[in-house]
Structure 1
Amino acid sequence: MNPVSGHKDNQELKAPDAQTLRNLMKEVRITRQEVAELLHVNTNTVNAWAAAENTSLHRPMPLMAWELLLLKLNRHPSKRVFEL
């Protein structure tokens, strides 16, 4: 299992749970504010995605937001962003 993306290599990318998001943020040393800026969302949105899943504050992170974050951080398991 890929510890960053939270899935097995060569397996379909899935939306992360809150712990997977927090693990990625810790590994790349990025704040919730920085995640919000990268994804063009409010910090409260990132807080909800990163909140413990057994709380009323938690909201699941959409797959498209997760994939965009992985691409912007160059952590996507099968795709890379490149400049022409």
Structure 2
Amino acid sequence: MILNPVVAFLIDYCQRHKHPVNAVLHVFGVPAAFYGIYLLFVGQAGLGCLLIFFGYLFQYLGHRAQGNEVGEVTLIKSIWRKLNKRGS
């Protein structure tokens, strides 16, 4: 069922963003990063890159305040572990 992975993602997301500083920085950082990606596609690469950089910086600082890893790092580690299990 498709709902189970969505619910699991939302539960994990809420657990990883409980700290108030982390939550506030994500409110600004996530939309900035997504808007930056959009700007790359419409020919405003300079501003797009700045927004992506600062959007991810805000998210990184939020996770530092909470004391956990950024989601992309967690995802890469998870994929790496799965690939290593298959190769063993």
TM-score, normalising length from structure 1? 0.28
TM-score, normalising length from structure 2? 0.28
Q: Which has the higher helix share?
A: 2
